[in-house]
Amino acid sequence: MGTPTLKLIYDRRHRASDTKEGAIELRITYNRIQKHATTGVRVLPKHWRNGCIVNRLDASELQYTLDLFVAKARKVINESMESGTLDMQTIVSAINVRQRHEATENVPSQQALLPFFRERAVIRKYGRVEDSQERYDRFLRWFEAWGGMVTFDDLTEANILRMDEVLQAKGMKACSIWNNYHRFLNSFILDAMDEGLIRRNPYKSLHIDKAKRSEGLGKYLTKEEFDRLAEIDPTVDYLRHARDLFVFQTYTCLAYVDMAAFDAANIREVNGRKIYVGKRGKTNQEYTFLLLHPALKVLEAYGGRLPMMSNQKYNNYLKMLAVMAGIKKPLSSHWARHTGATMLLNSGVGMEIVSKVLGHSSTKITREVYAKLLDETVADAMAKVERSLFD
């Protein structure tokens, strides 16, 4: 009858993409019956080649995890064959039980979380834009200051709910709580599971509110607020540079990372107008926009080269400018992108055009993000009609 064959299979369900990791499973084939056991390891398509993990700082460690998984699975199968109890219907369960038992025999449950989180953060930050790296660091600083979870034993549903309550008490929105806190903790927990430090993910039993994307908009200046900020005349260069960057960013709807990559050499003249075409650093999606006069004025002031600075400094300076302009909002670089899109939509620019300017892959994304704004715009337009008819 022969013996079962084992093979590592990547992304069997075809769910991976350039930005989404795919699962690596062990395929067990015997007498034309196939079963699949999960290894717990997930990687991006670019990190899987010819049955091996490549191009990652932790490639050797992850590959060792896979090799060890296969070896232990082979041991379970051999023992089952020797005892005459090999059953393809239950072999996956037998492998998983053995793997979990061996992985947790010597789990250091009292091991401190922060050293492990910091180690994983170094790997997770690798190759990401500066803003993403800072978000990892910001989470770790908050997590340490909070002190609600110290060891692996503390990774429980109850403690995660306590963490959620603490964050809600700060008045934060659900989408911000998930994206800036729970998402990072969950990623570190998944890493710990892959390394056999914990048996299960407590998030699987919880339903933390992630909120809809449209609820997270609210980050835009009104035209009157924007004009006040744009008209400020700072006496120091760094504030003047930050003001000009915000004006340029607003009139181009660029994300910070794309503004940092802006190259005046890519400007094309079409029918006497200056057009810029680029690709978003975050999604590689193409975007196109007309360089409006205020944006051109900024470029000309700096000889075609923007006065870039780190995103962290930029955000700090924007908050100073907001105070100077009497704006009581936590201004940051991303507010410029939303402010620009808001101005376009309120000026009657079509959804398809705004979507192209923003570099969204479809108008559906644009509608989801700006759904609330569109509702308000419709209401404002109807109110104007009402006043013209009945006043």
Q: For the chain, what are the domain ranges?
A: 5-104, 113-211, 223-390
Segment of 119-123, 140-144, 240-244, 367-371 carrying the highest mean pLDDT: 240-244
> Which pLDDT value is given to residue 388?
59
CATH of domain 223-390: 1.10.443.10
How would you list the strands of the sheet with 273-279, edge to edge? 267-270, 273-279, 286-290
> Which pLDDT value is given to residue 112?
83
Q: Which of 42-51, 206-215, 348-357, 381-390 has the lowest mean pLDDT?
A: 381-390
Residue with tokens 């960013």: 249
Q: Where are the beta strands (DSSP E) in 82-220?
A: none
> Which pLDDT value is given to residue 214?
42
Mean pLDDT (whole number) for 155-167: 90
Tens digit of pLDDT for each residue in 54-63? 988 778 878 8
> Which pLDDT value is given to residue 215?
42
Cα 119 to the chain's mean position, in Å? 19
Bridging pattern class, strands 267-270 and 33-43: unpaired
Tens digit of pLDDT for each residue in 73-108? 888 888 888 888 778 777 887 777 666 555 544 445
Averaged pLDDT of the chain: 81
Residue among 348, 346, 353, 351 at smallest CA distance from 369: 351
282 CB-near residues (< 8 Å, 6+ apart) = 129, 255, 257, 258
Mean pLDDT (whole number) for 300-305: 92
Q: How many residues does this entry show for the chain?
A: 391
Contact 249, 336 (CB under 8 A): yes
> Which pLDDT value is given to residue 205?
84
Level-2 CATH architecture, domain 113-211: Orthogonal Bundle (1.10)
